[in-house]
Structure 1
Amino acid sequence: MVQEDDDEEQQKIWSWGAGTDGQLATGRLQDEHSPQLLRSLSAFGHIISLSCGGAHVIAISTGGRVLTWGRGSSGQLGHGEMVNSLQPKIVKALEGFVITHVSAGWNHSGFVSDSGAIFTCGDGSFGQLGHGDFKSQCSPLEVSYFGSKHIDQVACGMRHSLVLLRDNEENQVYGFGSGKRGQLGISTDKVKSTSLPQITMGLTNLKIINISANGDHSAALSADGNLYTWGRGFGRASDACVPRRFEAAFSLNEVALGWNHALLLTREGELFMLGGDRHGVLGDSQKTSLTSDVSGKSKEGIIQIAPDLMDSKVVQIAAGAEHSALVTGKKSNNGSIMTWGWGEHGQLGLGDTSDQTAPRMVSLGNKFDEKNATSRVYCGSGFSFVLRTYDVGSEKR
């Protein structure tokens, strides 16, 4: 009991937005328009990271244990059954492993262990589980294709999956599942689907450090800060069957993909966005500067988002289906959250269901609560989470 109290003091977690499948972990099947401080996760110790999918959430806790909750109708929760869960539950099938990386897709999930093994479960009707068939799985099953090779990351999109393999000198991306928009990157032509992992073209000689997938989009970030995208085109751009480098004059530190847009965070803390402008997801063009792609050839419009952050800079980003979020940082803390875009389910956390065309601050309590804290924001298709961790021994109230 003392341990639970200590963990609660060291960490706070909030959720808001769409909640009718139990994805908010509030114990209620309803949308929440304002941030809800959660108690349901405190019994599981320190939460290291989250991944939010279509309507389910995966969490990694201390020691590499995995918790899931929300929609489970396709088996994506990994509890051995195809039912929803209002409360977080340990994935017992993974208790013998130390899980280091997870990804929640629309209706499927991926898990990577410290030994480099990858497990998947959930909807497999497009081959997105990588098991060589089109069956769904309600418990995590190891993707045997990779054998003893070391997997570093997994990224689950709408109906496809990506895997980043790091094995000695080999650094390669694989794709499997639906490829109808080119999101697998495995052929110069569009592929209906594949149920076995295949090498993504054009990335073999690059040092890829991060992969992303959402909707029918795929992306990879290289060590030198270059972005490669494939799949459904953003804005008026055509679909890309193989990765293409995004021509820009800046180096990127982080990428977040939505269904129709992407957030690009530079190493200097500047935020850019590309793609469509549905629900104001790209911000208010009157308050931002619209520039063209440096190459002059791309039809992907890019907008710089410069909210009034005073002495702050953007330190982390997240994208849902059609909403966006960012975390600002200062010398003493990095706890302020801003959101904008589609708000129908309250996923902006602003107390209403209105869309917002420019970033607005989310209230998570008094300003003092942000001091000596590190915050991260996570977005599912229509909901959001914030994980705030406090510097142990500092005053938090």
Structure 2
Amino acid sequence: MLYGSVANHNVTLHMETSSRPEFCLHSWGANSYGQLGQGHVEDLSEPRLSDTTALQNMAIRALIGGGGHSVVITENGEVFVCGQNHRGQLGLGHNVDISTLQLCRSLTQRVTTVACGWDFTLLLSDCGRVLACGSNAFGQLGVGQTVTHCADLLVVESLKEPVLSVAAGLRHSLAVTVSGCIYQWGSGLFNHAKRALSPRPVPSHLSSTVPSLVPGLDHKTSRMVTAGSAHCVCLTGDGDLFLWGSNKHGQLTTAQPFLSSPTLVKRSLLGGEKVIRVWSGWTHIVAQTESGRVFTWGRGDYGQLGRQASTSQNPELQPTAPSAGNQEACLPAEVNVLRGATQIACGSEHNQAIVGGCLLSWGWNEHGMCGDGSQSNVFQPQLVSGLTPLLIGCGAGHSMAVCTATTDSRQNSAVTLPQ
């Protein structure tokens, strides 16, 4: 999710080829590798039109970002990519960075969902198969240890049943199958687990280089996963949230420094309501409940919680777990201005949301990814002016949005929204 993995609820937006397009792709923030699709590698602190030449006459389904790369999924299941490609994370068969969107021509299956990790990519096809490319230094591709990185798309063969949801953390991966089981692979959490659990052994799902069944959810039907840099999130069909992994910044709502297996988040912490959607940054979590309320928790010193948080959340002051005095600040709290948000996306430490047809952004802003023309962190959701957003996505340090072209009176005619 990490990195802008966002449920876009089948919003379909059509890119037009006329001189006055109905919909435009904007991007801003970090751009060291061309991940903004602008044709250059300069950071942008305000939204600018991306080069969408390759997307002419395409309908866009989703925008996803990774550490330094971006992915656009079209409604017909094609994938367009740009940005950092040193580990082959663009799936183009080579390792050259690309500064404008380019079609991933090697795909022979329609893609419905993509999850971007730091330097790898997971793609989910419409038949439930998981494809992977990029770095495999930590086993995060799920294909074993013989491959260190790959610029071609590899099938994660050991996932024997169709997959519903995939997630990519910094160096680990997750998948939910149609039967509701969760599988995890990649050793990105291993060192965290070893320190916290010693002398007890580290469970296999925290160090496997192929998909390993995550224990502890035998009587639950999982439906969605997302991931932080070193934690995991599961949403069940009955609206419960389960968390595991590192708790360095209080993101697991517990005093324990590490949780090796999924642990329930009490509904009382979320207004007593079911959760319907969840997103994750590197070290913070955002959840929306059935009434539309939005709760945030975890690390907040860059403003990524969108609300007041204790200054004692500085990681240097709590190397293992949140202090007892700071426990309240690490627990979920509602961000009132986000109530009723129709879309939310999380980068590593910044966020975007669409609320009432307006684009809001907050959090880490060193590279201008909050879109306000500055590099100052944003501690409460603020309006990104000049855009009418319809679809959003985040990478680790960059932002993307498909917006209406306000000069066109037909601006809403090509939008397909869920009922």
Matched, 1:303 2:312: no
Q: Please list, as runs of the form range in 1=range in 2, the aligned pairs for 1:293-372 lying within 5 A after superposition.
A: 300-307=330-337, 313-329=340-356, 335-365=357-387, 370=388
Residue of structure 2 equivalent to 1:245:
264
Tell me the TM-score normalised to structure 2 length. Answer: 0.80
Q: Contact between 1:254 and 1:316, CA under 8 Å: does it hold in 2?
A: no
- Alpha-carbon distance between aligned partners in 1 of 2:110 and 2:276, rounded to the nearest angstrom: 27
Aligned CA-pair RMSD: 2.6
- Alpha-carbon distance between aligned partners in 2 of 1:315 and 1:251, rounded to the nearest angstrom: 17
Query: Which ranges of structure 1 fall in alignment gaps of 5 or more residues?
Result: 287-296, 330-334
Cα offset, 1:6, TM superposition: 6.5
Matched, 1:255 2:272: no
From 378, 385, 397, the equivalent of 2:400 is: 385
Cα offset, 1:230, TM superposition: 1.0
- Alpha-carbon distance between aligned partners in 1 of 2:130 and 2:115, rounded to the nearest angstrom: 11
- Alpha-carbon distance between aligned partners in 2 of 1:54 and 1:62, rounded to the nearest angstrom: 24
Residue of structure 1 equivalent to 2:297:
274
Q: Contact between 2:27 and 2:401, CA under 8 Å: does it hold in 1?
A: yes
- Alpha-carbon distance between aligned partners in 2 of 1:57 and 1:283, rounded to the nearest angstrom: 25
Cα offset, 1:224, TM superposition: 1.7
User: What code does the residue aligned with 1:154 have?
Assistant: V
* Alpha carbons of structure 1 residues 245 and 362: separation in structure 2 relative to 1, 3 Å: same
Matched, 1:208 2:208: no
* Alpha carbons of structure 1 residues 44 and 208: separation in structure 2 relative to 1, 3 Å: farther
- Alpha-carbon distance between aligned partners in 1 of 2:127 and 2:20, rounded to the nearest angstrom: 30
* Alpha carbons of structure 1 residues 273 and 8: separation in structure 2 relative to 1, 3 Å: farther
From 175, 180, 188, the equivalent of 1:171 is: 180
Residue of structure 1 equivalent to 2:98:
85
* Alpha carbons of structure 1 residues 243 and 5: separation in structure 2 relative to 1, 3 Å: same
Q: Contact between 1:107 and 1:122, CA under 8 Å: does it hold in 2?
A: yes
- Alpha-carbon distance between aligned partners in 2 of 1:214 and 1:55, rounded to the nearest angstrom: 16
- Bigger Cα displacement from structure 2, 128-137 vs 351-360: 128-137
Instruction: Give SS of 2:47's match.
Output: strand
Matched, 1:264 2:287: yes
Instruction: Return the structure number with greater relative CO, CA threshold 8 A, min gap 6.
Output: 2
* Alpha carbons of structure 1 residues 132 and 272: separation in structure 2 relative to 1, 3 Å: same
* Alpha carbons of structure 1 residues 281 and 298: separation in structure 2 relative to 1, 3 Å: closer
Q: Contact between 2:360 and 2:383, CA under 8 Å: does it hold in 1?
A: yes
- Alpha-carbon distance between aligned partners in 1 of 2:154 and 2:306, rounded to the nearest angstrom: 41
Q: Contact between 2:296 and 2:333, CA under 8 Å: does it hold in 1?
A: yes
Q: Contact between 1:235 and 1:301, CA under 8 Å: does it hold in 2?
A: no
Q: Contact between 2:141 and 2:173, CA under 8 Å: does it hold in 1?
A: yes
Matched, 1:60 2:73: yes
Query: Which ranges of structure 2 fall in alignment gaps of 5 or more residues?
Result: 1-13, 195-199, 310-326, 405-410
Paired residues, what number?
361
Q: Contact between 2:82 and 2:98, CA under 8 Å: does it hold in 1?
A: yes
User: What code does the residue aligned with 2:68 have?
Assistant: A
Cα offset, 1:146, TM superposition: 2.2
Cα offset, 1:380, TM superposition: 1.0
- Alpha-carbon distance between aligned partners in 1 of 2:15 and 2:234, rounded to the nearest angstrom: 39
Cα offset, 1:363, TM superposition: 1.2
Q: Contact between 1:24 and 1:70, CA under 8 Å: does it hold in 2?
A: yes
Cα offset, 1:80, TM superposition: 0.7
Instruction: Give SS of 1:326's match.
Output: strand
Q: Percent identity?
A: 29
- Alpha-carbon distance between aligned partners in 2 of 1:3 and 1:278, rounded to the nearest angstrom: 38
Cα offset, 1:39, TM superposition: 3.7
User: What code does the residue aligned with 1:242 have?
Assistant: S
User: What code does the residue aligned with 1:225 have?
Assistant: G
Tell me the TM-score normalised to structure 1 length. Answer: 0.84
Q: Contact between 2:63 and 2:392, CA under 8 Å: does it hold in 1?
A: no
